[in-house]
Amino acid sequence: MSPFPSDGNFTNELARILYDTVAKETEVVRKRNTLAPEFHKFLIQGTETIYLIHLPMFHVANYRQQLIVSVEFDQRSREKYVTMKKSYPSDPMILVTQHKTMLKDVVENNSGFKAQIMTKEAGIILYDVNVVIRKTVVSRPLNSKYRLRDYPTDSMPFYLYGSGSEANIDHVITRAPNTQLSASRCRLEWQEEQDAGVWDKDLVVLLEDVREAPMQPFPANAEIGGRNGAIVSHDHAAAAAKRSVGTKQDGRARNGYANGGDPARENGGDEPGNPQAAAAAAAAAGAETRGGGAKGSGFFFRPGARFQVGVWEDGDRSDASSKHASSELGAFVGYGVLTLGESVYVDSEAMNFDPFKKVEKVSEWRYEFDRIGKELE
């Protein structure tokens, strides 16, 4: 091997390899961040009012948006959809745009478009659906500059919308990686009676007995026990008893506990909470979600699951940051118990998938090094 790097055109060869690598990566960055018309998929929720949840992806600009809209279908399509949804409530139904379109144009113009409805098992089950957008419930970009630094630590936030007879929720995406957690036809039992007009507000519901931070990132779909996005209900034989909704109002913090937010002081206790015990409980919840306890239908987010919740107004729904739906909330609305309906959708993979990620092959690098080495001999 020559001690002189200029021999055998070594320097020029390195420069060529560097140039080719930069050119390829630049093209990937351009494709990843260029907005263009594309097919879009939406999870369909509800039967009274129909809602569409855009299925986002962090690594592709065309899909980097958390979006929830209320829509109308043409009469024929609506009747068929409602019939199928009531017959198969646990099967996720996905609406796909029939033609490539810009998501921004559809939302800003409240325009209509043609689509088709499908399930992952049966394929397309309804063609030529005329969709008209009635209202944008949530529209927040998922670009890195709008994401938060940390996951929520003392609860798990969801957007709440619908009506008293049919509530729907969708997980607030605060940072990456993340998981699609959505449920429709839920039941919210308020601790104190609310006026029907409460559903006209921009609402956020916090699952107060769930800590999101120690659960993230969630495991793969196979480990969670999801099948095509659906989670089947099944209670643990040794499930812990849920605490009842408290009646105390004074001194309640945002996490729903009385006496300054200390769990150990709930029900009138005088001793401060044990930080080690709280940390252990959070770790146990995270371990169950990731490990064998999460397999099958033991996953915490499943049909029929009940949660102690607090409901707040969004701090500023017009602002792009999800902090207004997690840490900087608006006015407090009330406490209650939320029971998930039969239509529960969980996907921990799709939004985190990177179609441009290159799988490095060690053999190719070895071949390249061997080739360069032989040229320098």
β-pairing, 123-141 vs 112-119, is antiparallel
Q: Are 61 and 33 in contact (CB under 8 A)?
A: yes
Residues 6+ apart with CB under 8 A from 189: 245, 336, 337, 338, 339
Q: Is the pTM of this model over 0.95?
A: no
Smallest CA-to-CA distance from 228 within 92, 86, 81, 55 is with 92
Q: What are the two backbone dihedrals, phi and then psi, of residue 131, each rounded to the nearest 5 degrees? A: -110, 130
Q: Which one-letter amino acid corresponds to residue 210?
A: V
What is the rounded distance in angstroms from the CA atom of residue 350 to the CA atom of residue 177?
Answer: 10
128-144 pLDDT per residue, tens: 999 999 999 999 999 99
What is the rounded distance in angstroms from the CA atom of residue 315 to the CA atom of residue 318?
Answer: 9
What is the rounded distance in angstroms from the CA atom of residue 169 to the CA atom of residue 160?
Answer: 5
Written as six digits, the tokens of 162 are: 């619908």
Written as six digits, the tokens of 159 are: 């957007």
- Print pLDDT tens along the chain (377 aa): 555 555 567 788 888 888 877 877 777 677 777 788 899 999 999 999 999 999 999 999 999 999 999 999 999 999 999 999 999 998 999 999 999 988 887 777 667 899 999 998 889 999 999 999 999 999 999 999 999 999 999 999 999 999 999 999 999 999 999 999 999 999 999 999 999 899 999 999 999 999 999 999 999 888 887 665 666 544 433 333 333 333 333 333 443 333 333 333 333 333 334 444 444 444 443 433 333 333 345 899 999 999 999 999 999 999 999 999 999 999 999 999 999 999 999 999 999 999 888 766 666 667 777 777 777 76
Axis crossing angle, helix 362-376 with helix 10-33, rounded to the nearest 10: 150
What is the rounded distance in angstroms from the CA atom of residue 139 to the CA atom of residue 137?
Answer: 7
- Domain ranges within the chain, ordered by starting residue: 41-227+300-352
